[in-house]
Amino acid sequence: MPEPLRPATVAVTAGRPPHEPDQPLNEPITMASTYVAGGDREYGRYTNPSWTAFEDALGALEGGRCLSYASGMAAVTTLLDLVATGDKVVVPRHTYQGTLVQLADLEMRGRLTTELVDITDTAAVAAACHDAALVWFESPTNPALEVADVPAVIEAAHAAGARVVVDNTFLTPLLQKPLDLGADIVLHSATKYLAGHSDLQLGAVVTRDDELYGVLKNRRDVQGNHPGPFEAWLALRGLRTLALRVERASTNAAELAVRLSSHPLAVEVRYPGMGGMVSLVLPSADHADLLVRSTSLWVHATSLGGVESTFERRRRWKSEPTTIPEGLVRLSVGIEDVEDLWADLLSALDGLPRS
């Protein structure tokens, strides 16, 4: 038996046409709303070779079967729809705010109940699981960058009979493989690191459960929340360089976290030890608002995971939990030269009032 290919190789090789004469090396974009009858494809809502190529590649990286969606939130919607009416969802209080907003809306309408937990308190999470149908979490959390004991949380959820979804957007399968750690479903906002160039929206779900895959596929067929072929094609093109981008962003982020920690205005610097996300807590909202307006290289923008460095004060969003500090700036560190990133940040920080 040959050794299994390593992830950086899989990111380059998976989801390609067969190595046969005249085949293109890359799956072309198939713009089609319908197909000539008599085959397996039939209609543009059911299947598209550009989605399939992306799904094959991400499925190979996460170690399961993948379905892609129009956005990360479309994938969130389809997974929350699996929860039976009245059932309970356990979720960290610092989950992605879009997911929290959607959960709050479902709870308000009587669809389900939620229990917010501190994901770093494994015993409290385990206690909350006892009557839960679904445990949904990110690790590290967005934007608090708290880290869960992932295998312990999954074990506690399964012991209580709950299904586990891990949103793996921040770490990507190159740094964390939740299915290997026991999770039932992995979710991605492929908008972020997987596509990696801040130019599209795409979501994905990966599972090893064939029955669940079938249920989700049938629902996508009728709900129409699939991606556009061009987005899927672009995302796969981005995925080819995932290993290089994640490696460089992580090295840059680790270095910036160290340098930021010794700046006199840094109240706190949070870095989970891997990945490209850093949260810098400044003394006040005013300091943070001024910082994001004072750089030339760093772009003030929401979202994350692009080749370019971006940052924002998270509490500018009304839906952000109030337990996130007012002065917290979330940095999505890109792949530029770290010295240029530091020089730009340092000169902006040095221009801020000292208290």
Ligand X SMILES: *Cc1c(COP(=O)(O)O)cnc(C)c1O
Q: Which residue is nearest to ligand X (CB)?
A: 72
- With binding defined as CB under 6 A, does residue 203 bind ligand X? yes
Question: What token pair was written down for 22?
Answer: 């005249």
Q: How far is the CB of 327 from ligand X (least distance, A)?
A: 21
Q: How far is the CB of 192 from ligand X (least distance, A)?
A: 6
Q: Give one DSSP letter per residue of 114-168, joined into a string.
A: EEEE-TT-HHHHHHHGGG-SEEEEESS-TTT-----HHHHHHHHHHTT-EEEEE-
Active-site residue identified among 65, 69, 96, 313: 96
Q: Which stretch binds ligand X (CB under 6 A): 153-161, 184-192, 216-224, 249-257?
A: 184-192
Query: Smaller CB distance to ligand X: residue 61 or 304?
Result: 304
| Rounded Cα gap, residues 323 and 281, in angstroms | 13
167 a catalytic residue? yes
Indicate the residue type of 175: L
Q: How far is the CB of 168 from ligand X (least distance, A)?
A: 9
Phi (first) and psi of residue 74, to 5 degrees: -65, -35
Q: Which stretch binds ligand X (CB under 6 A): 8-16, 51-59, 188-196, 236-244?
A: 188-196
Q: How far is the CB of 142 from ligand X (least distance, A)?
A: 5
Do 117 and 72 meet the contact criterion of CB atoms below 8 Å apart?
A: no
**What are the b/e assignments for 313-325, b being 16+ CB within 10 Å?**
bbbeeeebbeebb
Q: Which stretch binds ligand X (CB under 6 A): 69-77, 112-120, 252-260, 263-271?
A: 69-77
Distant-in-sequence, close-in-space partners of 258: CB < 8 Å, separation ≥ 6 = none
| Rounded Cα gap, residues 239 and 235, in angstroms | 6
Question: Residue 334: helix, strand or coil by DSSP?
Answer: coil
Q: Which of 27, 55, 167, 326 binds ligand X (CB under 6 A)?
A: 167
Query: Smaller CB distance to ligand X: residue 200 or 338?
Result: 200
16 a catalytic residue? no
Give the H/E segment covering residue 295: none
Q: Which stretch binds ligand X (CB under 6 A): 42-50, 68-76, 127-135, 155-163?
A: 68-76
Which of the residues 30 through 59 are near ligand X (CB under 6 A)?
A: none
Active-site residue identified among 167, 177, 245, 270: 167
**Total of chain residues touching ligand X, rule CB under 6 A:** 14
Q: Which of 71, 78, 114, 172 binds ligand X (CB under 6 A)?
A: 71
Q: Which of 96, 213, 233, 311 binds ligand X (CB under 6 A)?
A: 96
What is the number of other CB atoms lying within 10 angstroms of the CB of residue 2? Answer: 4
Which of the residues 255 through 284 are near ligand X (CB under 6 A)?
A: none
The candidate with the shortest Cα–Cα distance to 334, out of 241, 225, 206, 270, is 241
Query: In the stretch 135-154, what mask flags binding to ligand X with x, by CB under 6 A?
Result: ---x---x------------
Q: How far apart are the first and last CA of the chain?
A: 63
96 a catalytic residue? yes
CA 61 to the chain's CA centroid: 14
Q: Which of 48, 201, 279, 332 binds ligand X (CB under 6 A)?
A: 201
Give the H/E segment covering residue 290: helix 285-292
Phi (first) and psi of residue 184, to 5 degrees: -85, -35
Active-site residue identified among 192, 240, 245, 248: 192
Q: Which stretch binds ligand X (CB under 6 A): 40-48, 67-75, 81-89, 213-221?
A: 67-75
| Residues forming beta bridges with residue 274, ordered by sequence position | none
Q: Which residues bind ligand X (CB under 6 A)?
A: 71-73, 96, 98, 138, 142, 167, 169, 189, 191-192, 201, 203
Query: Active-site positions?
Result: 45, 96, 167, 192
